[in-house]
Amino acid sequence: MAKIEVKNIYKIFGPNPEQVLPKVQAGSNKEEILEETGHTVGLDDVSISIEEGETFVCMGLSGSGKSTLIRHINRLIDPTSGEVFVEGTDVLKLNQIDLLEFRKQTMSMVFQRFGLFPHKTVVDNVAYGLEIQKMEPEKRNKIAMDQIEAVGLSGFEDQYPSQLSGGMQQRVGLARALATNPQILLMDEAFSALDPLIRSDMQSQLLELQSQLKKTIVFITHDLDESLKLGDHIGILNGGRLVQVGKPEDILLNPADDYVASFVGDVNRARVLKAKSVMVAKNDSHNGMQVAHKANANDTLEDLIPIILGTRSLIEVVDDSGNSMGYISDSEASKFLSKD
Amino acid sequence: MKKIPQGVYYAIFTVFFFVLIVVSYNHPRTRKKPDSVMELFSDFSWLNDWPRWLDVPFMHWINTNWKIFINEYGLIFDAIGYGLLRGYTELKEVAVQAPWPVVIAAVILITYFTSGRKLGTTVFVGFCTFFIGFLNPRFWDKAIETTTMVVLGIFICVVIGIPIGIAMARNEKVRNAILPILDLMQVIPAFCYLIPGIILFGLGAIPAIISIFIYACPPLIRLTDLGIRLVDKEVIEAAESFGASRRQKLWGVQMPLALPNIMQGINQCTMMALAMVVIASMIGTRGLGDEVLLGLQQLNVGAAIEAGLAIVLLAIVLDRMTQAYGEKIQQRNQPVKKIKKSD
């Protein structure tokens, strides 16, 4: 079973969500419901399943329901209808005490505007999750100091959040989320409030941390480049509906509808596409071309284009143990880079 | 829970209104009734001036019930009044017995520590305290009496007001129920509850303290409620996402972050309490207000203004002390961005 399973979630905001639910289930869209009943549809029949150890990126513009969706996973929001399972536990059936215990043990969350406690020092902020679990101060401060070191903030532990820059504050947020050693990390537009350089820095740091920790991460963003960089799978939301779920390449190469297509239109494809999704079996057009370079299956097209252009020859794609998987020539490269 | 439709409320209100009219009309004390209801439809002169018979006998009802109330529950108020009086007298005696330089020194010490060792504020407050006695030696003991009343009043406000504020912030229904009561407490003229206060608690300091509570508590309750509700939503969500219980959330996050607002509330409370003390002098409460009243009654403008100045000085002292403490907390919560020098 998947680590996180969200099944047919509906969320309607307004005074009488139950009465409106049948209409939404019958297929009326967000605008119609708003006009007829004054209710806002937050989520409309969303189902996702997230495997252990993967980074699932949930993408959409503001108002698409992505922040609402992530809050269903730790039940900060109750759905109007639907089911949520985390590690096989039916989250919606938990009583108040079990729910608090579940939040303490299983997951933690990183927020867009950091959500740090302004009246606590950095070390107390990071130790907050452990404080809630009633761990003794010495023990929790030690763990907190380790986490602060892991995110590179040693020396700032006695500062207050307002004394730190945005990027540093979000590192505190990340350290705080990791301090309780949860299985699942929920990141709600975690890097959206940071400026571009720091953002890409934080993305790299997250990828690095993830390669060691292998957490299950649910990441919310409105930035397609970010989702392509971080996501093992990407789900695209539009108006509360899940439009497409797939691997980054799938989304890029086979957009499900115009909305997704317009999204991916501006993306630098060479940076996203990997050798393994571009390669083909050896065919007639390759006759007479030399194999000039062996590329790893996970290299991006961006790495390979200079070689293809420079040598005008064939590139052989191999897996990690060196077995041949396929070939790329200039014609494949040009085919995948063109937008239609 | 099922919601009661709006129509039901309107229906209840309408029925209540008509019952009230019928009851007033049939009340034995209602004067100059028309001989029959039909007369109202033949002779329309009653539409010109407000008819004497269209009068709810509220005064009569309240007076009757007030007497019953006093007979039944008077003892409870006696007990409350006695407890308060004991506390008031003991506190006052200590401060009055103490030599005046000791009192000034104590005020200076308290200010020094509550203000976070700010020298300017401390010196200023010490000077103001000295000047109260300096204005007129008679004022010294009276100022202590007034301060004791104000402090006791604020203590009651804090003990009762802050929990109510917390309850309002946590529950929409409690807030909707309490808000009109707060409006009433703030709008109703002070004399309306001063007189019943005398009947319940006797003359002197106790009805004044109760009046201080009625008059000065609403802003503290409002600011507590507001302070808690204004805490950043995302910070609350962060606490919840780590599995904080309601209690952990309240004491670990909401209260510390609402504290600057609550301190502002206590400060407001203090100022309003001082204003009330002057009005309360009309029901025989001693203290600085008494001096103002005396000056006015004797048309002694100098004495009245002198006493007024003493009250202003007392206000400044109390304001600086509570304000400085609030600022200190605020600085701890939201420190100004400082670049740490590493040399």
Residue whose pair of structure tokens reads 């513009």 in the numeric block? A61
Is B30 a residue whose pLDDT tops 70? Answer: no
Would you kindly state where each structural domain of chain B is located, as residue ranges? 10-47, 74-333
Please give the share of chain B, as a percent, with pLDDT higher than 70.
95
- B310-322 average pLDDT score: 91
Distance in angstroms (rounded) separating the CA atoms of residues B324 and B343: 32
pLDDT band at B338 (very low <50, low <70, confident <90, very high): very low
The answer to whether B331 faces chain A, any CB pair under 8 Å, is no
- A71-98 average pLDDT score: 92
* Amino acid sitting at position A115: G
Chain A residues whose CB is inside 8 A of the B6 CB are: none
Contact call for B241 and A128, based on CB within 8 A: no
The answer to whether A109 faces chain B, any CB pair under 8 Å, is yes
Of B237, B243, B256, the CB nearest to A119: B256
Contact call for A186 and B248, based on CB within 8 A: no
pLDDT band at A321 (very low <50, low <70, confident <90, very high): confident
Between these two residues, A138 and B341, which has the higher pLDDT value?
Answer: A138
* Amino acid sitting at position B196: P
pLDDT at residue A85, as a whole number:
94
Residue whose pair of structure tokens reads 């500062």 in the numeric block? A159
Contact call for A100 and B245, based on CB within 8 A: yes
Of A99-113, A185-199, A265-279, B281-295, where does mean pLDDT reach its minimum?
A265-279
Q: What is the pTM of this model?
A: 0.82
Is B1 a residue whose pLDDT tops 50? Answer: no
Contact call for B241 and A160, based on CB within 8 A: no
pLDDT at residue B205, as a whole number:
87
Q: Taking CA atoms, what residue in A is nearest to B330? A: A119
Backbone angles phi, psi at A186, to 5 degrees: -105, 125
pLDDT band at A291 (very low <50, low <70, confident <90, very high): confident
Of A37-46, A150-159, A294-303, B15-24, where does mean pLDDT reach its minimum?
A294-303
pLDDT band at B115 (very low <50, low <70, confident <90, very high): confident
Domains delineated in chain A = 4-268 (3.40.50.300), 271-337 (3.90.1280.20)
Contact call for B235 and A119, based on CB within 8 A: no
Single out the residue of A80, A151, A87 nearest to residue A122, CA to CA: A151
Is B78 a residue whose pLDDT tops 50? Answer: yes
Chain B residues whose CB is inside 8 A of the A137 CB are: none
pLDDT band at A340 (very low <50, low <70, confident <90, very high): low
Chain B residues whose CB is inside 8 A of the A175 CB are: none
Question: What residues pair up with A217 in beta bridges, in sequence order?
Answer: A55, A185
Composition of chain B by helix, strand, coil, percent to 5 = 80, 0, 20
Query: DSSP for A272-315?
Result: H-BHHHH-B---GGGTT--EEEEEETT-BHHHHHHHHHHH-SEE
pLDDT band at B340 (very low <50, low <70, confident <90, very high): very low
Span B160-181, pLDDT tens digits: 999 999 999 999 999 999 999 9
Residue B73 CA to its chain's centroid (Å): 23
Single out the residue of B307, B271, B305 nearest to residue B289, CA to CA: B307
pLDDT band at B3 (very low <50, low <70, confident <90, very high): low
- A44-72 average pLDDT score: 91
Contact call for B235 and A162, based on CB within 8 A: no
Contact call for B241 and A108, based on CB within 8 A: yes
Top residue of B237, B242, B251 to mutate, by most chain A CBs within 10 Å, is: B242
Question: What residues pair up with A274 in beta bridges, in sequence order?
Answer: A300
Contact call for B333 and A186, based on CB within 8 A: no
- A300-304 average pLDDT score: 82
Query: DSSP for B213-226?
Result: HHHHHHHHHHHHHH
Top residue of A73, A103, A117, A122 to mutate, by most chain B CBs within 10 Å, is: A117
pLDDT band at B334 (very low <50, low <70, confident <90, very high): low
Q: Which of A242-256, A288-302, B123-137, B191-205 is the most confident on average?
A: B123-137
The answer to whether A185 faces chain B, any CB pair under 8 Å, is no
Contact call for B240 and A103, based on CB within 8 A: yes
pLDDT at residue A176, as a whole number:
95
- A282-308 average pLDDT score: 79
pLDDT band at B343 (very low <50, low <70, confident <90, very high): very low
The answer to whether B332 faces chain A, any CB pair under 8 Å, is yes
pLDDT at residue B327, as a whole number:
78
Q: Which of residues 123-142 of B touch A (CB under 8 A)?
A: none
- A304-325 average pLDDT score: 81
Q: Taking CA atoms, what residue in A is nearest to B329? A: A119
Min Cα–Cα distance to chain B from A103, Å: 5
Q: Which two tokens stand for residue B163?
A: 């929990």
Distance in angstroms (rounded) separating the CA atoms of residues A299 and A273: 8
The answer to whether A269 faces chain B, any CB pair under 8 Å, is no
- B186-195 average pLDDT score: 89
* Amino acid sitting at position A4: I
Contact call for A76 and B237, based on CB within 8 A: yes
- A14-22 average pLDDT score: 89
Min Cα–Cα distance to chain B from A132, Å: 6
pLDDT at residue B337, as a whole number:
43
Calculate the average pLDDT of chain B.
Answer: 88
Residue A199 burial (10 A CB sphere; 0-12, 13-18, 19+): buried
Q: Taking CA atoms, what residue in A is nearest to B233? A: A115
Chain B residues whose CB is inside 8 A of the A129 CB are: 242-243
Calculate the average pLDDT of chain A.
Answer: 88
Q: Taking CA atoms, what residue in A is nearest to B251? A: A132
Span B31-75, pLDDT tens digits: 677 777 788 888 888 888 888 888 888 888 999 999 999 999 989
pLDDT at residue A339, as a whole number:
64
> Number of Cβ pairs closer than 8 Å across A and B?
75
The answer to whether B334 faces chain A, any CB pair under 8 Å, is yes
Single out the residue of A278, A244, A240 nearest to residue A262, CA to CA: A244
Of A112-116, A285-289, B191-195, B229-233, where does mean pLDDT reach its minimum?
A285-289
Contact call for B335 and A186, based on CB within 8 A: no
What is the architecture, at CATH level 2, of domain B74-333? Orthogonal Bundle (1.10)
Single out the residue of A117, A101, A108 nearest to residue A179, CA to CA: A108
CB A117 within 8 A of CB A124: yes
The per-residue b/e assignment along A128-146, b for 16 or more CB within 10 angstroms, e otherwise, is bbbbbeebeeeebbebbbe
pLDDT band at B335 (very low <50, low <70, confident <90, very high): low
Q: Which two tokens stand for residue B30?
A: 């209602």
Contact call for A109 and B337, based on CB within 8 A: no
pLDDT band at B342 (very low <50, low <70, confident <90, very high): very low
Distance in angstroms (rounded) separating the CA atoms of residues B214 and A147: 51
Min Cα–Cα distance to chain A from B236, Å: 8
pLDDT at residue B339, as a whole number:
42
Question: What residues pair up with A187 in beta bridges, in sequence order?
Answer: A110, A219
Contact call for B237 and A129, based on CB within 8 A: no
Secondary structure element (H or E) that encloses residue A316, with its range: strand A314-318
Chain B residues whose CB is inside 8 A of the A159 CB are: 340
- B192-204 average pLDDT score: 87
The answer to whether A100 faces chain B, any CB pair under 8 Å, is yes
What's the alpha-carbon Rg for chain B, to the nearest Å?
A: 26
Is B197 a residue whose pLDDT tops 80? Answer: yes
For A191, the 3-state DSSP assignment is coil
Distance in angstroms (rounded) separating the CA atoms of residues B114 and A287: 87
Of A152-161, A256-265, B145-154, where does mean pLDDT reach its minimum?
A256-265
Q: Which of residues 250-289 of B touch A (CB under 8 A)?
A: 252-253, 256-257
pLDDT band at B316 (very low <50, low <70, confident <90, very high): very high
Q: Is the ipTM of this complex over 0.85?
A: no
The answer to whether B230 faces chain A, any CB pair under 8 Å, is no
pLDDT at residue A302, as a whole number:
82
